[in-house]
Structure formats: structure tokens, C-alpha cells
Amino acid sequence: MHPLIAAIVVSITTLSATATAIAVPEAPLLHSDFSFSAWVDSLIADPSTALTPSEAIAAFNSSLTSSSSALSKRQEFRNCNQKGSRPAKVPEAVWCINYLADRGRKGETCDLGTQFVAKAQCTWYDAQIVSIRTRGALTGINCNEIAKAGGSIMDHCFRADNTVAGEAHVGAVTIQLQMPLV
């Protein structure tokens, strides 16, 4: 084998081993009969009758199930990838979703910018909801749509260690729920 090719193979093997060695195990995903997506819809429709963020978390926790088929169904959602070094904490994520739903209910548009860059729509302690505008996307959407995407991420990507990370799509806009990165 040519010495240059051998050096490249050794480098790739070393990088691969290093990446494997620093991988952080993820907490298992949980299933609950409570739906954060339905909660967001109730916030938008009539906030006076909707659960508060802390009540929504309590409702989720009180309806946890251990059905292995339910867990398998949840895990089919392929967008529960963590973008940073740690996922968002659930209470802070729920606060952001509530905040965005409140803005949307008032008719506010969340600015997506004119460039193809990530834009923080809400940052609260250890949680951040980010929009990423892609080619052909509008420059703004009603904040309700971002809140709904956040609810969908909560439904699919809630972890046993009370954290969440993932992404969903609103048309040509990617919504990420994660630790603060932007």
C-alpha cells in the first residue's frame, strides 16, 4: 500500500474511533397520552381555558405509559436529533412554546429574515426555538405555526431525563428545539 494512502486510512480510523469514544448516550424517549400539539391548539383557541405550561408538563407526566409499541411508534419520528452538546430542558421549552403561541394568537408574525440563516425565535434559559429559512420560504410566518412545530417536537422527542431536542418543518422552514446555539 502506498504510504500516503496508509496514512489517510490511519487518520480516518483514528477520527472514527475518537468520534465513537465521545458519543454521549441519549436518554430514552417517553410516550404519554397527553399531546403538546393539542395543548398548543388550546392555547391558540382560548388561552383562558388552556393549561399553564407547568400544568401541561404535569399532565404529560401523569399520563406516561410504558407500552413498548408506543415507544416504537414515537421513535419512528426521525427528527429527534440533538444539535448542540445537550438538549433543551422541558420546562424552558414549554415556556417558549407558550410564549410563541401567545404572540401568534395576537396575530404577530415571527420574522424569518431574508437570508438562509438560523434565527432564534425564543430563548429561555436552557431552551431555544430556532427557525431556519430555506430557499423559497416566506420571510415571516404567524408565530402560532412555530409554536405548533414546537408542540410536535415535544410530542415526538420528549426524553426520560426531562429534556427534549429535535426539529420539525413548517413548509420550507425548519424549526429546531434545542439548547441555545444562536
Note the pLDDT of residue 64: 78
Distances (CA, A) of 53 to 23, 41, 66: 32, 13, 24
Residue 166: Cβ-neighbour burial (10 angstroms; 0-12, 13-18, 19+)? buried
Secondary structure class of 29 (helix, strand, coil): strand
Note the pLDDT of residue 73: 40
pLDDT tens per residue, range 100-116:
999 999 999 999 987 77
Q: How far is CA 60 from the centre of its chain?
A: 16
Structural domain for 55, as ranges: 27-178
Note the pLDDT of residue 182: 78
Note the pLDDT of residue 55: 93
Residue 7 within any structural domain of the chain: no
Residue 76 within any structural domain of the chain: yes
Instruction: Provide the domain count of the chain.
Output: 1
Residue 1 within any structural domain of the chain: no
Low-confidence ranges of the chain (pLDDT < 50): 1-24, 67-77
Residue 173 within any structural domain of the chain: yes
Residue 83 within any structural domain of the chain: yes
Note the pLDDT of residue 25: 52
Note the pLDDT of residue 176: 94
Residue 2 within any structural domain of the chain: no
Whole-structure pTM value:
0.74
pLDDT tens per residue, range 24-47:
456 777 777 888 989 999 999 999
The CA distance from 167 to 150, in Å, is: 8
Residue 10 within any structural domain of the chain: no
Residue 50 within any structural domain of the chain: yes
